[in-house]
């Protein structure tokens, strides 16, 4: 979708910066910058904003060959972001009856070609409407049948749907999910009956067939769980200016480590590193690092690389 970013409260007027956004788009760009081959599948409107979305993805080396331009007059989705205080940002969505809400299984399934290693999707897609929810389920089912790893980031958006509606739609996806990513407050949405503690919730998910659970803890880092391993990783200490997109950057880093065959502690370290790059610059994806930039945070503040 397109993104309009304000420099102050929207009610005060002023200028807006135009870019693109979307959780899956952010992850796709993050992985492409880290040197991986990435394919983005979705539906945009036959409008200038749709052209901007596809043009930006292509400029970031993301394959858009399976992207669909809507022919029924539906517009490209839009969001508005406005800073309110410090790093607190308010986001308004305009996605009802958008092109993305009409994405169909016929749009997505042809992209699951031989050689695909990971299907990544978020809980935002099924929140857009019945067709999008049907498509998400069809995609994870086809991926699981083809032996493709399924990564699901819950990414709950309370302005799009309620927690109960989210749980009802996400539970069928979880039955076909290998890697589940969630923040601490999102984890209960993955369970039909959340338990009293995080460890109990994680054990329940692993018992249901999820292979790996990663819990994002913001400024306190993250924890990864499998049936046989638990690993913690502290966040990188940086001065944050914009937290929007940090979770998507985290996922891009984690999947990058997975695709390179790294162990869990290494995957988590790369994830918190890419998230740190995201929060130190404004925009959802603009500050994401290339692979040769990952070591920049190891230099002292104020260092000039010559």
Residue reference for tokens 């999947």 = 255
- For 267-295, write each residue's pLDDT tens digit: 999 999 999 999 998 889 999 999 999 99
Give the CA angle between residues 280, 95, 177 to the nearest 5°: 70
In the chain, what are the domains?
A: 1-102 (3.40.1190.30)
Let me know: does 10 contact 82? Beta carbons within 8 Å: yes
Q: Please state, in angstroms and rounded to a whole number, the distance separating the CA atoms of residues 199 and 215.
A: 11
Let me know: does 18 contact 4? Beta carbons within 8 Å: yes
Question: Which letter does DSSP use for residue 117 in this model?
Answer: -
Nearest residue to 227 (alpha-carbon basis) of 215, 210, 243: 210
Identify any residues that bridge with 222 across adjacent strands, giving them in sequence order.
Answer: 216, 233
Residue ranges of E strands in 45-169: 68-69, 78-85, 88-94, 118-122, 149-153
- For 150-184, write each residue's pLDDT tens digit: 999 999 999 889 999 999 999 999 999 999 999 99
**Which residues, other chains included, contact 85 with Cβ-Cβ below 8 Å and sequence gap of 6+?**
none
- Residues carrying an active site annotation: 248
Tell me, what's the pLDDT at 196?
78
Nearest residue to 215 (alpha-carbon basis) of 195, 198, 196: 198
**What is the pTM for the complete model shown?**
0.95
Tell me, what's the pLDDT at 104?
97
- For 27-59, write each residue's pLDDT tens digit: 999 999 999 999 999 999 999 999 999 999 999
- For 110-161, write each residue's pLDDT tens digit: 999 999 999 999 999 999 999 999 999 999 999 999 999 999 999 999 988 9
The tokens of 244 are what? 């929007």
For 146, other C-beta atoms within 10 Å of its C-beta total 12
Where residue 214 falls among pLDDT bands split at 50, 70, 90?
A: very high
Pair type for strands 222-225 and 230-233 = antiparallel
Phi, psi dihedrals of residue 249, rounded to the nearest 5°: -60, -40
Nearest residue to 226 (alpha-carbon basis) of 212, 236, 214: 212
Where residue 251 falls among pLDDT bands split at 50, 70, 90?
A: very high
Q: Please state, in angstroms and rounded to a whole number, the distance separating the CA atoms of residues 75 and 47.
A: 7
């Amino acid at each position: 979708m397109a993104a309009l970013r304000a420099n102050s409260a929207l009610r005060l007027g002023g200028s807006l910066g135009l870019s693109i956004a979307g959780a899956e788009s952010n992850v796709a760009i993050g992985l492409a910058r880290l040197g991986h081959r990435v394919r983005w599948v979705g539906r945009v409107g036959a409008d200038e904003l749709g052209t901007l979305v596809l043009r930006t993805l292509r400029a970031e080396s993301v394959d858009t060959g399976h992207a669909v331009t809507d022919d029924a007059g539906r517009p490209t989705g839009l969001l508005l972001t406005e800073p309110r205080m410090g790093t607190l940002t308010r986001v308004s969505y305009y996605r009802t009856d958008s092109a993305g809400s009409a994405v169909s299984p016929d749009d997505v399934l042809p992209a699951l070609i031989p050689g695909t290693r990971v299907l990544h999707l978020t809980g935002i897609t099924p929140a857009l409407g019945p067709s999008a929810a049907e498509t998400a389920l069809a995609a994870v089912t086809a991926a699981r049948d083809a032996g493709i790893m399924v990564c699901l980031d819950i990414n709950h958006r309370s302005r799009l749907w309620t927690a109960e509606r989210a749980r009802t739609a996400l539970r069928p996806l979880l039955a076909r999910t290998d890697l589940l990513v969630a923040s601490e407050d999102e984890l209960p949405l993955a369970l039909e009956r959340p338990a009293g503690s995080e460890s109990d919730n994680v054990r329940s998910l692993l018992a249901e067939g999820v292979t790996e659970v990663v819990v994002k803890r913001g400024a306190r880092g993250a924890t990864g769980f499998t049936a046989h391993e638990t690993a913690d990783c502290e966040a990188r200490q940086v001065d944050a200016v914009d937290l929007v997109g940090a979770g998507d950057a985290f996922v891009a880093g984690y999947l990058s480590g997975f695709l390179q065959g790294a162990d869990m502690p290494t995957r988590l370290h790369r994830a918190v590193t890419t998230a740190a790059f995201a929060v130190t610059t404004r925009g959802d994806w603009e500050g994401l690092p290339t692979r040769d930039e990952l070591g920049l945070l190891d230099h002292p503040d104020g260092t000039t690389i010559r």
